Structure 1
Amino acid sequence: MVRVIGSVLVIGGGISGIQAALEVADQNFRVYLLEQSGSIGGLMSRLDKTFPTNDCSLCIESPKMVELGRHPNIRVIPEGEIRSISGKAGNFTVKIVRRNLYVDSDLCVGCIDLCAPVCPIELPSREEFMIGGRKAIYVPFPQAVPLVARIDTDHCIGCRLCMAACERGAIDYFRGDIEEELKVGSIIIASGIEPFDPSSLPEYGYGRIENVITAPQYERLISAAGPTEGRIMRPSDGRHPERVAWIQCVGSRNAEFPSCSAVCCMYATKEAMATLHSKRYIFYIDLRSYGKAFEIFYRTAKRIGVEYIRSKPGVILEDHEKNPVIRYEDTETGEVQDLTVDLVVLSVGLRPPASNNKLSAILGVKLDELGFLAPKSLLNPLETCIDGIYICGCATGAKDIPDSVTQGVAAATRAILPLIQSRGKEIPERVKIKERVVDQSGIPRIGVFICDCGVNIASVLDVPALVEYAKTLPGVVYANEATFACSSDTQSQIKDTIIIQNLDRVVVAACTPRTHEPLFQRTCEEVGLNPYLFELANIREHCSWVHIHDKELALEKAKDIIRMAVAKSSLSRPIHRVKIPVTKRALVLGAGISGMRAALDIANQGIEVYLVERANEPGGILRQITHLHDGTPVADFLPPLIDEVRSHPDIHLMTGCTIDDVSGYVGEFSVKISGERNTELQVGVCVVATGMQELEPHGYYRYGEDPAVVTQTELETLIKMGEKWERVVMIQCVGSRDDERPYCSRICCINAVKNAIAIKSRNPQTEVYILYRDIMTYARWERLYSRAMEMGVLFIRYSPETPPSVDEKLRVRVYDTLLDAELVIDADQVVLSGAMIPSEGAEKIAHLFKLPIYEDGYFLEAHLKLRPLDGAFGGVFLCGGAHYPKLIDEAITQGTGVAARACSILVHDEIETEGIISRVDEDICIGCGLCLDLCAFGALELRSRKAYINPVVCKGCGLCAAACNIGAIEELNFTSRQIEAMIRGFMYGKETEEKGKV
């Protein structure tokens, strides 16, 4: 019998690989993360902001990078690549080589202050997409993980000046490559993506016209951490461009690369919104705002003045002042025009990396026709043709960050399922760190670290002056400046300083605690300092970002913020989290494809699952569909999947049931279910997979009045019945992308194209017209669009200002914006692509599971980018159509991903609650009960006429403490004394005030 190895190899350290590694490691498996470059982070680490939230990209990725870098179950192997593989699923032997490039990573601390200045070689920086410079010895970027210097061996002249300058002896020109063997049970490939090089398109002048650059280069221009510190400058003369134009679909949606790159429309919109004090133009073919919150983001851009021009420019010329001149045909007006701008940004497509070919050859996995790694099938989007090898993220094609994160999480589930019997056997033994004893009676020793955040903070605030000010505050024994406080080297510096300076409080003045507080708390914990003795002062969002035009007042406000944080910190006390047992059962609500997949993947880990479905049969919206988008008949896979669910020993399928009440908390929920037999269940986690439904478009285009006007799902039934037509007209965006439903339903265009192809395949003589605003065949589904056109499907674009009309004779009138003429089509079948809307009862589910609802009507996740599967309430997860409309492979992926998130809780015997909760002083409480009615989490009850707060249920919102008239309730770490100290400026509280220390 072959031994099953409880370790997983992850190839690629972009956001998808990072997420996959963390999920595997958190479920007690060993992880090797192999990254061919010097640092993890991938393309996301080089972005400025992310859409549609406008979060700082590296600010939300860096904490995950640091978390991964110090995870005890993960070993990062930079500068590595695979040489060979042998064995089979469950027991692979992988030979790798690690290029040392003359730097000993165990000795190098990435300081770069000594070696880089003496290096005589100046080079364009690949990490800055060739718009910034660097030396032959360099660190990829300040937040790199691991933070180790690299030597560019292609350009190093071997002078060894850096070797002489390095005081740690980390540079050795006699070091060679290191080969080693890894024993792993599964492999996850997250090889990422590369921007297209537009040098091969002479019509756009890239490389010839100075003021034509690519979107990745523009990202580095607008980034505060980029080579120009966020100042947008023309390459030719360094001045700020007053007119900037973006050109879409450069290197994609063409004969050479017949695929959409999925994210270009939105990243151009994001870049345009970040470009202040300039006139902004975006040239596009179809505006693809198909993702969650994308359409709202696009509308916001239009509202603030970004001008969208529907055209694919033919050529870019240059005038005598080096201004690019864009020659284009405006397809809205039919006129050929010239537009002179100061800067052109080419929205380049995303291509598979060259490493895919090598991985394919070594591992035996197949590539698709574009060079991406090919999934096994549409129904197995994470599997390859080789058992035990899985794929995720942009390795399979261009996709947005949350889709990459979801695939990383899901790939973790697929990779560990065959290894369950070896869980925990390969992980290193953890050393328990003893908590430092903190003297709570004396004067605290506070350390203050003030972050530059590149120029996000430092360009507005005088950080050295803030450091000197912090040193004057009572209790502060150490203060220092940090370029990036979230980087791994600063984390190490903080830990060293806590020990050397014997600090018992730490204050970091930087950015938002929402993303960074757990990072710094963990840093304190690693040297034994209680995490609740850490305080984060937000001088970025609350100061430098909002007071950029008055630096003097901003500086004074920053001093106030730091002083308040120090005041609060001085009164902080150690808080310890409560450990609670985990009920090792899961509730999955909704038995559509996503819910069934989640239930199976949880149950296959030996965990009991209750799968609750309000309909009498499982299957969800798939029961209304005959064929998938790749032609797969639903009847081929849905019945076997349902049978697998019904026969699984650990799945209890409960159809015809609804949820009446939910109480409790992560680890121990109580759920009341009504149906044929009323039941109350105790479960550890809840998965909401309630799906979506097609809008019944009454009031649109005679739907409900004429039987020949149907929806796309109703059309599927007619196609299955063998109906034939002479002329079919499909109308897109019915009830969506309007004021009532300001979102794109994501799947409608692909469904319409699929059904149009089905009609033409059965009867090529049938005329099929698709009336559209923008065709949303994103990513690889662009090929479906091309196939439909090749088969003779006619696409007619209409404007939302002049929508089509249908009269009682089924005569369709539409104003064709391309032909600049009204067309009349005598149809015998009209098909409406209605909006996809949340399933019935979504509002009740939101209330029961404490799920916020986004303005599109769908449940809002914890974070649009990095936590797309987590609900706002701990232990509650989202997947499938409940999260947002999606195609079947996306729904399956989310179901599998949710299984990983659920099992990250369910595999443990106990979990820790949050430490910041409210508590009651029973000596003061009069038992009035006011607080009971206010608590949204049900944490309060009366016991012996006194308020009692369940420390497990309490979320520390503080509402009860604020409402208590007599002050009997206080919130830990936000006590009245701390708040008073912050407001009034007291540094030590009442005791020191009496000594005259204010």
Structure 2
Amino acid sequence: FVCHCGINIGGVVDVPAVREYARSLPFVEYVADNLYTCSQDTQETLKRLIREQGLNRILVAACTPRTHEPLFQETMEEVGLNRYLFEMANIRNMVSWVHSSDPRGATEKAKDLVRMGVYKAALLEPLQEPELQVTQKALVVGGGVAGMVAAKTLANQGYPVCLVESSDRLGGQALALHQTWRGEDIAGFVRELSETLFRHPLVEVHLASQVSLVEGFVGNFKTNIQSGGTSRVFEHGVAVIATGGSEWQPNEYCFGDDSRILTHQGLDQRFLMADPTLKEVRTAVFIQCVGSREPARPYCSRVCCTHTLHSALHLKKINPEGDVFVLYRDLRSYGERESLYLEARRQGVLFIRYDLEDKPQVRIRDGKLRVTVADPILQRHLVIDADLLVLATAIVPNQDEALAQFFKIPVNEDGFYLEAHVKLRPVEFATDGVFLCGIAHYPKPIDESIAQAQAAASRAATILARKTIHFSGMVAATQQMLCSGCGTCVELCPYSAPRFNDRGKAEINPALCKGCGLCAASCRSGAIRLQGFDDAQIFAMIEAV
């Protein structure tokens, strides 16, 4: 079945020519082209043709299997065929999108991919999906706002939750914050949320605790929780990682040398205490991107600009006659937060841009706090005698290498946890049954952390809602007679799927295997076979080119 995909494929590739070419290939019993093969009408037609023509293997030449392969596999199951007797040729991403300026060449390449797919499809074998019981409980690591929201969301759906927090109280970084950018009370929200969790009959809270060991796989995890010198094992089906982040402590701008130099959290603490000395601040200076968007931390921490605008307006509210300067590289008050910037301009907050190569200078002399900055508009240096200097510092992750190793979760170059796919699986890890949310993933404001926590809990609930779970049939398997017990596969597998059995031979745990093929490619004895990508199938595709 060759898809036009509207003009995505048909606008470049000569689909009728590919269809007629496929008709000439061996093993092919029926060929058709469709405007949209993934549409519901075409799926019904596909089922009818499978029954009428007696087809036992299907090849669809269309878009990426990453998004649409499950749809076609479900269609095959509905007519009684094994879902793994299906092959897909990606003639959109690999052909029409990358060869749009060469329709003739694109059409020939599409024919090549179809031919390769046909030769592989002829050798496809039905595969079985192992089934395991699901422990309908959840573990949440991290008791900040994201972790608490995830725990509450899961518990409210009827699933027992164990919440593990490394500090002696819940709340995380939100405990040090004053208000959201909309002026909402954060402390009250955190207090109410934590009290709800302590009272919830399905939530078990462990403070000053650590995860010391994790065993198992999706649906059947066993986690050791260390608390106060004691250890207990918690069995659960899913885990939500919400270990959060923290405010970077700067080593520049004389931070730590004078009590008038604060970070955002330091200023928020004074706001929370209603510090009367803030009324005496005649000149306040904010410096943006302290530790962010620099070689050591090239990422933007996202919340700093909005935080500065809100704090500047609050200072103006406390002392309308005071002067507030914001020294920035680029101001990013995205979305509706732009209203804060407009209001700050109306209130008289002054904005001065600076370059990374010519950062502001801070000096303390004779009790005076002096900030010098080059104004690009006036083409001269400005000297500001400040009563208060606030540094908008970077947000850094709470790195826990042991936890990352326990759950086999990847970390990006900045130390934040990396999701499985930014669009298709934004709150999941590559390790099945493990989800992420909050600042552990990337710097974000509280409202976005809450939304992501609810999303992670919702995805986790799709597993907990089932009593049993099926695993992919496209996993590696060992032939015990050929295995030499060298241990190469055990050392190389990033998911810890191969293990030695009591005979010293490698065995693959199908619940942990992701079908990456690393073990099969590295096995010197040829004892490991990746089901669905057998050597005979791969060589058939190569020989068909």
Provide the identity percentage.
46
Quote the Cα distance in structure 2 between the aligned partners of 1:824 and 1:600: 51
User: What do residues 614-664 of structure 1 show as CA deviations (whole Å, max 9, x unaligned)?
Assistant: 112111001112333333333323223222212222111111122233232
Q: After TM superposition, list the pairs within 5 Å mapping 1:960-979 onto structure 2.
A: 960-979=519-538
Given that 1:879 and 1:891 are in contact with CA atoms closer than 8 Å, whether structure 2 keeps it comes out as: yes
Q: Is the alpha carbon distance of 1:821 and 1:502 closer, same or farther for their aligned partners in structure 2, counting shifts above 3 Å?
A: farther
SS in 1 for 2:84: helix
Q: After TM superposition, list the pairs within 5 Å mapping 1:899-918 onto structure 2.
A: 899-918=457-476
What amino acid does structure 2 have at the position aligned with 1:877? F
Residue 165 (structure 2) aligns with: 613
What amino acid does structure 1 have at the position aligned with 2:219? G
Among 296, 304, 307, which residue is 1:740 paired with? Answer: 296
Q: After TM superposition, list the pairs within 5 Å mapping 1:779-818 onto structure 2.
A: 779-809=335-365, 810-818=369-377
What amino acid does structure 2 have at the position aligned with 1:859? Y
Quote the Cα distance in structure 1 between the aligned partners of 2:517 and 2:424: 27
Among 395, 398, 403, which residue is 1:845 paired with? Answer: 403
Shift of 1:701: 1.8
Among 929, 934, 951, which residue is 2:510 paired with? Answer: 951
Residue 692 (structure 1) aligns with: 245
Quote the Cα distance in structure 2 between the aligned partners of 1:982 and 1:928: 30
SS in 2 for 1:664: strand
Shift of 1:549: 4.6
SS in 1 for 2:162: strand
Q: Is the alpha carbon distance of 1:815 and 1:491 closer, same or farther for their aligned partners in structure 2, counting shifts above 3 Å?
A: farther
Residue 455 (structure 2) aligns with: 897
Among 77, 84, 93, which residue is 1:532 paired with? Answer: 84
Quote the Cα distance in structure 2 between the aligned partners of 1:530 and 1:821: 74
Residue 122 (structure 2) aligns with: 570
User: What do residues 218-239 of structure 1 show as CA deviations (whole Å, max 9, x unaligned)?
Assistant: xxxxxxxxxxxxxxxxxxxxxx
Residue 267 (structure 1) aligns with: none
1:679 correspondence with 2:244: no
Q: After TM superposition, list the pairs within 5 Å mapping 1:762-781 onto structure 2.
A: 762-781=318-337
1:874 correspondence with 2:432: yes
Given that 1:592 and 1:620 are in contact with CA atoms closer than 8 Å, whether structure 2 keeps it comes out as: yes
Shift of 1:534: 0.8
Residue 320 (structure 1) aligns with: none
Residue 388 (structure 2) aligns with: 829
Q: Is the alpha carbon distance of 1:771 and 1:837 closer, same or farther for their aligned partners in structure 2, counting shifts above 3 Å?
A: same
Q: Which moved more, 1:783-792 or 1:878-887?
A: 783-792
User: What do residues 875-932 of structure 1 show as CA deviations (whole Å, max 9, x unaligned)?
Assistant: 1111111122222222222222222111111121111111111112223333333322
Residue 582 (structure 1) aligns with: 134
SS in 1 for 2:250: coil
Q: After TM superposition, list the pairs within 5 Å mapping 1:67-216 onto structure 2.
A: none
SS in 2 for 1:479: coil
Among 311, 314, 317, which residue is 1:761 paired with? Answer: 317
Shift of 1:800: 3.6
Residue 982 (structure 1) aligns with: 541
What amino acid does structure 2 have at the position aligned with 1:562? V
Among 715, 718, 728, which residue is 2:270 paired with? Answer: 718
Quote the Cα distance in structure 1 between the aligned partners of 2:68 and 2:60: 10
Quote the Cα distance in structure 1 between the aligned partners of 2:506 and 2:187: 57
What TM-score, normalized to structure 1?
0.52
User: What do residues 337-365 of structure 1 show as CA deviations (whole Å, max 9, x unaligned)?
Assistant: xxxxxxxxxxxxxxxxxxxxxxxxxxxxx
Quote the Cα distance in structure 2 between the aligned partners of 1:759 and 1:531: 63
Quote the Cα distance in structure 2 between the aligned partners of 1:952 and 1:891: 30
Residue 108 (structure 2) aligns with: 556
SS in 2 for 1:622: helix
Shift of 1:567: 0.9
Q: Is the alpha carbon distance of 1:498 and 1:901 closer, same or farther for their aligned partners in structure 2, counting shifts above 3 Å?
A: same
SS in 2 for 1:649: coil
Q: After TM superposition, list the pairs within 5 Å mapping 1:47-62 onto structure 2.
A: none
User: What do residues 138-179 of structure 1 show as CA deviations (whole Å, max 9, x unaligned)?
Assistant: xxxxxxxxxxxxxxxxxxxxxxxxxxxxxxxxxxxxxxxxxx
SS in 1 for 2:276: coil
Given that 1:799 and 1:817 are in contact with CA atoms closer than 8 Å, whether structure 2 keeps it comes out as: no
Shift of 1:580: 1.0
Shift of 1:505: 0.7
Quote the Cα distance in structure 1 between the aligned partners of 2:437 and 2:75: 32
Q: After TM superposition, list the pairs within 5 Å mapping 1:586-665 onto structure 2.
A: 586-665=138-217
1:473 correspondence with 2:25: yes
Quote the Cα distance in structure 2 between the aligned partners of 1:775 and 1:559: 51
1:926 correspondence with 2:489: no
Quote the Cα distance in structure 2 between the aligned partners of 1:908 and 1:777: 42
Shift of 1:819: 4.4
Quote the Cα distance in structure 1 between the aligned partners of 2:412 and 2:63: 25
Shift of 1:523: 2.2
Quote the Cα distance in structure 2 between the aligned partners of 1:637 and 1:457: 51
Quote the Cα distance in structure 2 between the aligned partners of 1:646 and 1:811: 48
Higher RCO (Cα < 8 Å, 6 or more apart)? 2
Given that 2:76 and 2:82 are in contact with CA atoms closer than 8 Å, whether structure 1 keeps it comes out as: yes
1:522 correspondence with 2:74: yes
Given that 2:139 and 2:161 are in contact with CA atoms closer than 8 Å, whether structure 1 keeps it comes out as: yes
Quote the Cα distance in structure 2 between the aligned partners of 1:866 and 1:968: 34
User: What do residues 358-380 of structure 1 show as CA deviations (whole Å, max 9, x unaligned)?
Assistant: xxxxxxxxxxxxxxxxxxxxxxx
Given that 1:486 and 1:516 are in contact with CA atoms closer than 8 Å, whether structure 2 keeps it comes out as: yes
SS in 1 for 2:391: strand
What amino acid does structure 1 have at the position aligned with 2:21? Y
User: What do residues 440-485 of structure 1 show as CA deviations (whole Å, max 9, x unaligned)?
Assistant: xxxxxxxxx1223333333443222211111111110112222333
Q: After TM superposition, list the pairs within 5 Å mapping 1:328-339 onto structure 2.
A: none
Quote the Cα distance in structure 2 between the aligned partners of 1:886 and 1:931: 39
Shift of 1:525: 2.0
SS in 2 for 1:936: coil
Say which structure is richer in helix: 2
Q: Which moved more, 1:515-524 or 1:686-695?
A: 515-524
Quote the Cα distance in structure 2 between the aligned partners of 1:581 and 1:458: 45
User: What do residues 754-800 of structure 1 show as CA deviations (whole Å, max 9, x unaligned)?
Assistant: 21122222222221111123322222222222333333322223344
Gaps of 5+ in 2: none
Shift of 1:801: 4.3
Quote the Cα distance in structure 2 between the aligned partners of 1:852 and 1:608: 27
Given that 1:726 and 1:828 are in contact with CA atoms closer than 8 Å, whether structure 2 keeps it comes out as: yes
SS in 1 for 2:29: strand
Quote the Cα distance in structure 1 between the aligned partners of 2:415 and 2:96: 34
Given that 2:177 and 2:187 are in contact with CA atoms closer than 8 Å, whether structure 1 keeps it comes out as: no
What amino acid does structure 1 have at the position aligned with 2:409? L
Q: Is the alpha carbon distance of 1:886 and 1:520 closer, same or farther for their aligned partners in structure 2, counting shifts above 3 Å?
A: same
Residue 885 (structure 1) aligns with: 443
Quote the Cα distance in structure 1 between the aligned partners of 2:112 and 2:225: 52
C-alpha RMSD of the superposition? 2.1
What TM-score, normalized to structure 2?
0.93
What amino acid does structure 2 have at the position aligned with 1:689? A
